[in-house]
Amino acid sequence: MPVQYASIVAEHQATRTGAGLFDISHMGRLVFPNLAALAPLDCLLTRRVVDLAPGRIRYSLVTKDDGGILDDVLAYHVPAGAAQSAHPLLVVNASNREKIVAWIGARSSPGELQLTDQTSATAMLAVQGPKALELLQPVVSVPLPPMKYYTCASAQVLGHPALVSRTGYTGEDGAELIVAAAAAEPIWQKLVEAGATPAGLGCRDTLRLEAAMPLYGHELDEATDPFTAGLGMAVDLEGREFIGSAALAKCKNDPSLKRRVGLELDGRRVPREGFTILHQGKAIGRVTSGTFSPTLDRPIAMGYVEHANAAVGTAVEIDVRGRAEPARVVALPFYRRAKTT
């Protein structure tokens, strides 16, 4: 086993069984001054946020007029705290941060959606895994177990002001911390001393792929709409309009659209992004992400195929560097963590 992959597997297993520690400071963090921003944001996001309750977070998308995805984002209603008023926060993908800032500016009235890009001034750390909350609780000032998934709270972490959220991108339980950039290193060191395993992007990618979480630039891009991507749950069409809503209403039930599917292979050769998916020798789609799954001990992939070939159990092949490897369409996600009581 190559040294680099062995390291990824060790980090992966530590996250699945204990607690992995991820530096996700590269994610963009866009802060709006007050709750008046929720109404105009509601016209730019595919999910309704004007009714977002204090401390709640919603996964949403930003789409173009034609329904293509510009980014997938998390919209927060940050509750009022000792040193701040309640306000919205958008966490966006690093590669799309400047694009989304420009998009918001170009599609809102002057002064309507003022924002502060706090990406450089803050850091974001994620602790993920079945022991994540146990490990975090001694250094976080608010009780973590009572917090529901996709909620946030203002807190102190080792005496530093922080925003704590029950979110993550691994398929495991856990939390994410937003702190001042200068506070990140001492908090990181304390968490490692407490037993968290530092993990990198390679590990995060195997985790999110097993959990079937789409990644911008792979499963999501400006040429792909939310329904093709299997993200209809992130689109609220009823009783509202937003940029792209008219186009999305037309494609919602369009049977001609391709579908995002999961794929498993019985061999050991790993499919990679861009590899062709075939059915009875005919090209029917392409792989968007692929890896060797440490949890399942086999190659897995996500990709887009013709609607007629998207049913679970469909036998397909994947062209892996000139050789057709047998595969099958499987239900997503590949991995689902055991629920705790």
Cβ–Cβ under 8 Å, residues 45 and 221: no
Once rounded to an integer, what is the mean pLDDT over residues 195-223? 97
Once rounded to an integer, what is the mean pLDDT over residues 160-169? 97
Whole-prediction pTM:
0.95
Once rounded to an integer, what is the mean pLDDT over residues 124-129? 98
% of the chain residues with pLDDT over 90: 93
pLDDT bucket at 109, cuts 50 / 70 / 90:
confident
pLDDT bucket at 338, cuts 50 / 70 / 90:
confident
Q: Which DSSP state fits 216? A: B
What integer pLDDT is reported at residue 2 of this predicted model?
A: 60
Residue whose structure tokens are 């001609």: 256
What integer pLDDT is reported at residue 81 of this predicted model?
A: 77
Choose between 109 and 235: higher pLDDT.
235
Architecture of domain 3-210: 2-Layer Sandwich (3.30)
Which amino acid does the sequence have at 226?
P
What integer pLDDT is reported at residue 82 of this predicted model?
A: 61
Q: Which residues is 75 bridged to in the sheet?
A: 58, 90
Cβ–Cβ under 8 Å, residues 75 and 90: yes
Indicate whether 275 pLDDT > 70.
yes
Cβ–Cβ under 8 Å, residues 151 and 57: yes
Which of 22, 20, 19, 58 shows the shortest CA–CA distance to 38? 58
Helical (H) or strand (E) element with 75: strand 69-78
Write out pLDDT tens, residues 21-66: 999 999 999 999 999 999 999 999 999 999 999 999 999 999 999 9
Q: To 10 degrees, the CA torsion angle through 277, 282, 285, 286?
A: 40
Once rounded to an integer, what is the mean pLDDT over residues 166-174? 97
Indicate whether 212 pLDDT > 50.
yes
For domain 258-330, say whether CATH 3.40.50.300 is its number.
no
Domain range annotation of the chain = 3-210, 258-330
What integer pLDDT is reported at residue 12 of this predicted model?
A: 98
Which of 296, 292, 294 shows the shortest CA–CA distance to 272? 292
Once rounded to an integer, what is the mean pLDDT over residues 161-176? 97
What integer pLDDT is reported at residue 5 of this predicted model?
A: 84
Indicate whether 341 pLDDT > 50.
no
Q: Which DSSP state fits 340? A: P
CA dist 146 and 118 (Å) reads 28
Structure tokens at 38: 């929720």
